[in-house]
Structure 1
Amino acid sequence: MRVKNTFFVFAVFCVAAIFSAAPVFSQTDSEDWFYGKPIKNIVFDNLKNVKQGDLDGVTSSFISKPFSDDLISELYDRLFSLEYFDDVEIKAAKNADNGKTVNLILSVVERPVVMKLNFDGNRYIHDADLKSKISLKAKDIFVESKVLEDERAIRNYYIEKGYTKISVESSFEMRDDGAYVTFKIREGRQTVVKSIGFAGNQVVSSKTLKGKISLKEAGLFRKGSFQESSLSADSRAIVAYYQNRGYADAKVVNIDQKTSYNEQKNREEIEITFEIQEGIQYNFGGITFDGNHVFTTEELENLVTLKTGAVYNETKFQETRMNIQNLYYENGYTSNRFATDINKDAESKVISYTIRIQENPRSHIENIIIKGNEKTKDFVIRREIPIEEGDIFSNAKISNGMRNLYNLQYFSAVSPEVLQGSEENLVDIVFTVEEQSTTSLDFGFTFSGVSDPGEIPIALTARIQDSNIFGEGKLASVGTTLSTNEQSVSLSYGQNWLFNKPISTNISLSYSHSNNYALRDKILPSGDIDNDYYYMQYEQNQFSLGLSLGHRWTPNFAILTLSGGVTSSLINNLYDDSLWIPYDTSISQYSDNWEPRNSIWTSFSMDGRNIAWDPSSGWFASQRFSWYGLMHEGFLPFAPDWGENEFYLRTDTKAEKYFTLVNKPITDSWALKLVLMGYSGLSFQFSALDSTIKKNNQLYIDGMFNGRGWTIYNSDKGRGKAMWCNSLELRMPVIPGIFSLDLWGDAVAITDEPYQFFNLKEEDWYFSFGPSFRFSIQQFPLRLLFANTFKIKDGSPVFTDQDGDGDYNWRKNWNFVLSFSMTNR
């Protein structure tokens, strides 16, 4: 079966089915075995340049579905929409299960690849710059339509640079090894702005108006490239500036252009003069409403952002008009009509308006359509949208669904669109999503203090996780830690929905082995006293099993999550008890025998961030309670010796807030954005009566996520039962969604006991600061920090060593820290 395009595919398929003439999908009694059988595998034959993995996202949604003509037609449509193949032939094959399932073998003929890209005639712009602007790349599959798109991209790039006479023609030659593409360029001369002037402006200075337009004069640090399209945009900017200051009649009546050739610089130079008619300044006389019954006049007047009697401002009036329309829109009135009558009194210099409203019945949702998802199943997306077919339209619920979809972290873009339905009061909602990889690989290494000089003070960590297995919204991960004194492996599996409800479940299993040092009793088991050594070494093996259950609610203001779970561990400590007696009895409790250690926890969180993994606005708050120790000795009849000797409560309170301080467009594709982030976390541990919390289980400054830059967690100073962590970051996205440059500062206080927290002293605080390079890719949340540490002594900052005792020059106190951007949940 040879196929040239989607329509031809479908036509040939139907004819073959009717006449039973197709060799592959014959419908005779002997050869129609595959109809209705579930598809087990889809494999490709003859792939050369296209990778099988690049096609899994297309074919994965067909796995397990029953074979049918419609299904095969849909598969063809998806394959040809990729524009990778000229021909496709599909064969059905039986599996080893006697034909209970079907294997599909797709024999393809790939389109040729791009072997070389040539640029001919470009003198002033380099090949590398032009290649960065086009979509075709060497070794890509050749798609003819992309050549025409790249023609336009090159032309637009030249126009941005001021080459107004640019012409681009493309051609390609097909050879045995692939396609050779050539772009023939006639650049012409560059046109730059020599001068910009204004005529007729009396109220506003020419200098002020120059600052409001995008065209700039050529100078020492400005190229001054001329773009014809900028003239109309700059005219609107001038008029808008006047109208926002009450000059409602202001207009640009003419743009005078004089062009001359600069032979010395071989360029065209243009002199531009904007001729302005300013008019008179108006005050605002208010708004009256006609036809409003759903909302009272008082409710509508509360949306007016411009005070009566103030200088008229066109932007604020348009904001008012949009606020009124949005009020109706958000409450389901999408088919209302709004007419605005302007009442302008030139004699009294007052502008007022009448807004006439034609109220129609509320609109209902006719269809919810999902587009762009190749891997993620439709039901996974639909269940996150809190509106269904037949519901009254609600813009707030659509925004809520958009937020929920972003927080899944499956999509890099989510775009809802409201379209007219089959009748006036029916609408269709189209959610177009752009999928991204949901498989993440986290790896890194940390330097840690060790007691044995022969050990390497490096710990390697790695974890692979897929948060959207088979496109069904399920999560699985595998992680490991490797160092000379610790090895661990962990597995987890979870999902966010259960019984078609937003109920999350998770199960985790882990094993770890570590070599540890602990204080020992100076009295040896033999009765002798040894004052020469204070520490003993022991090995610890630990198996852990964790189970959790949670429920989510999605009101408009935030995502609310209530969770709870239990963690059970079996611990075995190995050491020679004929030689050593540990000072900490919790170590001897687990000596040479597997003993339990259990905890139960519950948490509640409120997430009002716009995007959870890289917010620019919003807030987050959470509270978690964990109780450690569930089994006293004798709790289990069949194991009366089993029991725990650590019983304590841990509380963790977290809050974070995000502000966008600056968001100023610099170019068409990049804006200077500054985001301020503040975080505060407070943790306490309260031990039960007759119970202690050993040092290894106390709170600590890890130097990687809190108190970044400090490495004191192996010392008494870095551990305690009360800790207050604070962070402040100024973030500047360099490439949004890719990486960001940040300035950060941490302040962490830790005390031995909770009651001491309410009387914090200077020496309890640890400060650090510096710049960082942060990846904002969800699947690669790595960040590299350049950290400096200091403490406060006698009211002044002292840059100290890691023990906090030295006094060093701050220039020599910088260290690199490898960390991860962890998202609070």
Structure 2
Amino acid sequence: MTGSGIVTLASASVAEAATISRVEVRGATRVSAETVRANITIVPGKSFSNADIDSSVKRLYQTGYFSDVSINVSGGTLVVSVSENQLINQVVFNGNRKIKDDKLQTLVRSRSLGPYSEATVEGDIQSIKDAYAATGRSDITVTTQVVPIAEGRVNLAFVIDEGKKTKITAINFVGNNAYSNGRLQSVIATKESGIFSFLTRKDVYNEDKLRADEELLRQFYFNRGYADFRVVSSDAVLDEATNEYTVTITVEEGDRYDFGAVNVESTVDGVDAAELKDLVSSSEGSIYRAKDIQNTMSAISKRVAAQGYPFARVTPRGNRDFGNRTIAVDYLVDQGERAYVERIEIRGNTRTRDYVIRREFDMSEGDAFNQEMIASAKRRLEALGYFSAVNISTQQGSAADRVVVVVDVQDQSTGSFGIGAGYSAGSGGGLLLEASIEERNFLGRGQYIRMAAGRGEDSRTYNFSFTEPYFLGYRLAAGFDIFKNETDFNDDNYSYNDEGFSLRVTAPITEALSTTFRYNYTRLTYHGTDVYGDDLASPFVDAVNGSDWTRSSISQSLTYNTLDDPQMAHEGILASITQEYAGLGGTSDYYKLTAKGKWFYTLNDDADIIGSLAGTAGHVFKTSGDLEVFDQFQIGTNELRGFERNGIGPRSLKYDDAIGGTTYFTASAEATFPLPGIPRDAGFRGAVFVDAGTLYGNDVKTRADDDIVGTSSSLRASVGLGLLWASPFGPLRVDYAIPIAKEDYDRVQNLKFGISSSF
């Protein structure tokens, strides 16, 4: 070895079986001789070989303290000569604006008071370039300045020229006939550069990201009948003059297939194939979808494992009929190899704790190895949203029947800061602004925290939520919510504040079905006068100005969720039914039953037209005395567009106050579509809708001379247009609705602007 490492041996033959009596260290000044001796494998009195010398040299270089090392044997003495690297006095960054110093400090290995190493600095330069490339700045240049100071110390400066942001000017598809370029662009994660790209950073070209986009395209086509689909190539060409990428993805779609005959066979004694047939997700004649096969394999594997066959394997076999364009599928259940999980190895997680990843597996060390459980764990890990990439592989363990499961993940940002805005006309409305901070993976523990505060012309809101997704080590999501709302209904001459908390725990029943139990406590404070200046304002006849109500209740909900995408669903059902009993102390005594649901269906896949049907209903039963006015239902602008909040239902004619109702139901039909002439990546969609509903009944005590209207179940309806925007600040929506069926005393609100949601 020469240059950076020189090893001199007195005699190779002697070194093969030599021993020494002592170790002499030369050239070490800042590093102690004991540190040098501690990093070599040769000790006095013990024989050593050339391999021991080589190992010692490597270990000394790996410390980073030395620029040159030589070892030779002189008689009974091992002489270790070293030349020390200079020490770094200070590490600074110059020219960086897009990435701050504290972030860059975590990326580089060069540290103050650490050794200066050219190899380490070269690695640091590449780490800085990679970090900037992830923000879309591929033409960055990084140089270094090394300034010697006294006593073998240097100051190290990384000089950064950030350059211009590299954009994606176009994403083109070649070979696609069934779906347009715009539809396929909406599928992949890479986006063309636009006005809000600096916020979303979805226009950053990355080769790994492009490979992931290929998989998204495959899943898109496989779930729409195109079983022969393949990506022929995907290329990105950089125009150095404009610093812009053009991405071209060439595909081969193939024919579209339907399911043929579907059967289940079993070669495992004790497993009845006929009983498993009910678990098949597809039916003959339906569109061939890869996810139906995946769901069927998962369901059969879990059923068979639960019956006491942990090593059973489910294998789908497809038989194409090219003439009829069908694929018959046979699911074969056979006895797989007996293998056990030796260990689960987690790699790549720099922030998320190991146990957060391990708990998504339905197996642990020592359990039977099951490939379908591995696939299920991968889907759950991806669904968490904690990682930009998840890959699970297997390696041979210490024995033939032992398997090492290797989980490679890449952490991604899980925190967000949001600003929302809305507008609601009428009492208690006006312009509404909300700011929120959200963290989905708090301290890498998988916990969810959200803080929000809102301010309107006549309202103020404060909220704090916390959720532990695995309470007491079980798959139970436990948490609490704290809230405070202050609302002034100036047009109705009253205001009220409500504040309180809820404790909740959610337990999964199946993949799609879950149940939630809550304890709710609310305190309401009412202030109001009627138009005559009296302290008692109808319909709050029993409400003394400044008095408090308390509501103590328990509730239970069942939620069914099969949405394919929680942000913009194309198909699936989201439905829930809730029962609540109030009367555990406090002033409220009632039993409420409410239900709501929404069904999504793709009306035209290529045009990306999505239809939805929604409905809500509820009834409150008084369990003693009269209901409090705040215990009755109110209809909001989300359920029935075209009307104000509290704009329909029972109302005091004398005082023009909405008093709520005991029963309500609403229904809605809607279709959303991309806006023509606007790139789909911009996130704008149009909507047409029709709403209908009613609110009626009254169990609140009112004055004898007051006329109450709206207690009958007369139907209201409206039609309208909407504009949706999946903005970087959250989903926003503007609706303009015109009532086509209403009562004379109803309050109309045509324009509504606010945050969009599934319900």
Q: Taking structure 2 as the reference length, what is the TM-score of the superposition?
A: 0.57
Displacement of 1:306 in angstroms is 13
The residue matched to 1:49 in structure 2 has which SS?
coil
2 CA distance for matches of 1:803 and 1:316?
52
Match of 1:702 in 2: 636
The residue matched to 1:562 in structure 2 has which SS?
strand
1 CA distance for matches of 2:317 and 2:489?
77
2:589 to 644, 647, 650: 647
Match of 2:696 in 1: 751
Aligned residues of 1:460 and 1:482 also touching (Cα < 8 A): yes
Matches within 5 A, 1:395-544: 397-398=373-374, 400-401=376-377, 404-405=380-381, 408=384, 410=386, 417-419=392-394, 421-422=396-397, 426=403, 428=405, 430=407, 432=409, 435=412, 437-450=414-427, 458-468=430-440, 469-501=442-474, 502-510=476-484, 512=486, 514=488, 516=490, 537-538=493-494, 540=496, 542=497, 544=499
Displacement of 1:117 in angstroms is 9.1
1:679 to 614, 628, 634: 614
Match of 1:601 in 2: 554
1 CA distance for matches of 2:417 and 2:733?
15
Sort the Cα spacing of 1:184 and 1:624 in 2 relative to 1 into closer, same or farther, 3 A.
closer
Match of 1:786 in 2: 736
1 CA distance for matches of 2:596 and 2:105?
38
Aligned residues of 1:417 and 1:431 also touching (Cα < 8 A): yes
Displacement of 1:390 in angstroms is 3.8
Sort the Cα spacing of 1:21 and 1:320 in 2 relative to 1 into closer, same or farther, 3 A.
closer
2 CA distance for matches of 1:566 and 1:321?
40
Sort the Cα spacing of 1:626 and 1:151 in 2 relative to 1 into closer, same or farther, 3 A.
closer
1:665-691 C-alpha deviation (Å, 9 max, x unpaired) = xxxxxx544444333222222234332
Displacement of 1:564 in angstroms is 1.1
Q: What is the total number of aligned residue pairs between the two structures?
A: 574
1 CA distance for matches of 2:163 and 2:715?
61
| Runs (5+) with no aligned partner, structure 2 | 1-57, 70-81, 108-119, 134-140, 147-154, 170-184, 212-234, 321-327, 652-657, 701-709
Displacement of 1:713 in angstroms is 1.4
In the alignment, is residue 711 of structure 1 matched against residue 644 of structure 2?
A: yes
Displacement of 1:477 in angstroms is 3.4
2 CA distance for matches of 1:419 and 1:506?
39
Sort the Cα spacing of 1:321 and 1:576 in 2 relative to 1 into closer, same or farther, 3 A.
closer
Aligned residues of 2:467 and 2:480 also touching (Cα < 8 A): yes
The residue matched to 1:391 in structure 2 has which SS?
coil
| Runs (5+) with no aligned partner, structure 1 | 1-8, 27-42, 60-71, 91-104, 120-128, 153-166, 173-179, 186-224, 247-283, 343-351, 451-455, 519-536, 633-643, 664-670, 792-799, 806-812
Sort the Cα spacing of 1:387 and 1:484 in 2 relative to 1 into closer, same or farther, 3 A.
same
2 CA distance for matches of 1:288 and 1:589?
67
Code of the aligned partner of 1:508: I
Match of 1:545 in 2: 500
In the alignment, is residue 388 of structure 1 matched against residue 364 of structure 2?
A: yes
Code of the aligned partner of 1:465: I
Code of the aligned partner of 1:749: T
2:100 to 39, 52, 74: 52
Sort the Cα spacing of 1:420 and 1:446 in 2 relative to 1 into closer, same or farther, 3 A.
same
Aligned residues of 1:654 and 1:682 also touching (Cα < 8 A): yes
Displacement of 1:377 in angstroms is 4.1
Matches within 5 A, 1:164-203: none
Displacement of 1:479 in angstroms is 3.4
Displacement of 1:466 in angstroms is 0.5
The residue matched to 1:603 in structure 2 has which SS?
strand
Match of 1:14 in 2: 63
Sort the Cα spacing of 1:618 and 1:738 in 2 relative to 1 into closer, same or farther, 3 A.
same
Displacement of 1:706 in angstroms is 0.3
Identity over the aligned pairs, expressed in percent? Answer: 14
1 CA distance for matches of 2:167 and 2:273?
64
Match of 1:259 in 2: none
Displacement of 1:401 in angstroms is 4.2
Aligned residues of 1:712 and 1:802 also touching (Cα < 8 A): no
Displacement of 1:751 in angstroms is 0.9
1 CA distance for matches of 2:206 and 2:479?
49
Code of the aligned partner of 1:360: G
1 CA distance for matches of 2:431 and 2:446?
32
1 CA distance for matches of 2:546 and 2:264?
85
1 CA distance for matches of 2:626 and 2:277?
64
Please report the RMSD computed on the Cα atoms of aligned residues, expressed in angstroms. 6.3
The residue matched to 1:82 in structure 2 has which SS?
helix
486-495 or 79-88, which deviates more: 79-88
Displacement of 1:495 in angstroms is 3.5
Matches within 5 A, 1:315-394: 359-366=335-342, 368=344, 376-394=352-370
Displacement of 1:464 in angstroms is 0.5
Aligned residues of 1:625 and 1:652 also touching (Cα < 8 A): yes
1:606-656 C-alpha deviation (Å, 9 max, x unpaired) = 333244443334433433333446546xxxxxxxxxxx4x43333322333
Displacement of 1:722 in angstroms is 0.8
Aligned residues of 2:579 and 2:593 also touching (Cα < 8 A): yes
2 CA distance for matches of 1:648 and 1:290?
54
The residue matched to 1:499 in structure 2 has which SS?
helix
Displacement of 1:384 in angstroms is 3.8
In the alignment, is residue 114 of structure 1 matched against residue 164 of structure 2?
A: yes
2 CA distance for matches of 1:505 and 1:679?
28
1 CA distance for matches of 2:472 and 2:207?
50
Sort the Cα spacing of 1:322 and 1:55 in 2 relative to 1 into closer, same or farther, 3 A.
same
Displacement of 1:550 in angstroms is 0.7
2 CA distance for matches of 1:113 and 1:476?
37
Displacement of 1:483 in angstroms is 3.8
Aligned residues of 1:463 and 1:479 also touching (Cα < 8 A): yes
Aligned residues of 1:385 and 1:397 also touching (Cα < 8 A): yes
2:669 to 728, 734, 737: 728
Displacement of 1:605 in angstroms is 2.3
Code of the aligned partner of 1:49: R
Aligned residues of 1:459 and 1:481 also touching (Cα < 8 A): no
Code of the aligned partner of 1:728: A
Displacement of 1:580 in angstroms is 1.5
1 CA distance for matches of 2:746 and 2:375?
49
Displacement of 1:339 in angstroms is 10
Sort the Cα spacing of 1:496 and 1:586 in 2 relative to 1 into closer, same or farther, 3 A.
farther
Aligned residues of 1:687 and 1:693 also touching (Cα < 8 A): no
Aligned residues of 1:473 and 1:496 also touching (Cα < 8 A): yes
Aligned residues of 1:303 and 1:320 also touching (Cα < 8 A): no
1:566 to 496, 512, 520: 520
2 CA distance for matches of 1:245 and 1:472?
43
Aligned residues of 2:528 and 2:537 also touching (Cα < 8 A): no
Aligned residues of 2:347 and 2:406 also touching (Cα < 8 A): no
774-783 or 461-470, which deviates more: 774-783
2:599 to 653, 657, 663: 657
In the alignment, is residue 821 of structure 1 matched against residue 756 of structure 2?
A: yes
Displacement of 1:116 in angstroms is 8.7
Code of the aligned partner of 1:699: F
Code of the aligned partner of 1:745: V
Displacement of 1:506 in angstroms is 1.3
